[in-house]
Amino acid sequence: MSQFVDFLHEVFETFGTVSARKMFGGYGIYHQGVMFALVADEQLYLKVDQSTRQKFEEKGLSAFQYQKNDKQVNMSYFLAPEEIYDDKEQAAQWAALAFGVAKNRKRPKRKVKQ
């Protein structure tokens, strides 16, 4: 695990316990089993939806993007604001916002046919 990902445990201490799982060259960041953030290239991105995207855009934060088959793909994660790294209350507020989005979008597990 990278030092940056380890540092996120401290950043989100006021928000609550977080865990990280390696995925696609980065990490998924989870709280209560729900992925609310991701880390790619040592940068943290938080989950957004239509109701929260504007808050990120107003701060000039950009969407997580990746290249797929010569196309630029935007995901529903935006760069986290810098102030969360120095202010645990701000970190908790932004994490709660992203967690709320992720929790509401979490799909129910499919039942296995027997």
User: In total, how many domains does the chain have?
Assistant: 1
Is residue 76 domain-resident? yes
Residues 31-62 pLDDT 10s: 999 999 999 999 999 999 999 999 999 999 99
Alpha helices in the chain (DSSP H): 3-11, 53-58, 88-105
Domain span including residue 72: 3-103
The pTM assigned to this predicted structure is 0.86
> Is 108 part of any domain?
no
CATH code: domain of residue 10? 3.30.1460.30
Residue 113 in any domain: the answer is no
Output DSSP code: residue 106: P
Rounded Cα–Cα distance for residues 38 and 42 (Å): 10
Map tokens 């979490």 to a residue.
106
| pLDDT tens digits, one per residue of 83-108 | 999 999 999 999 999 999 999 975 55
Residues 6+ apart with CB under 8 A from 66: 40, 72, 73, 75
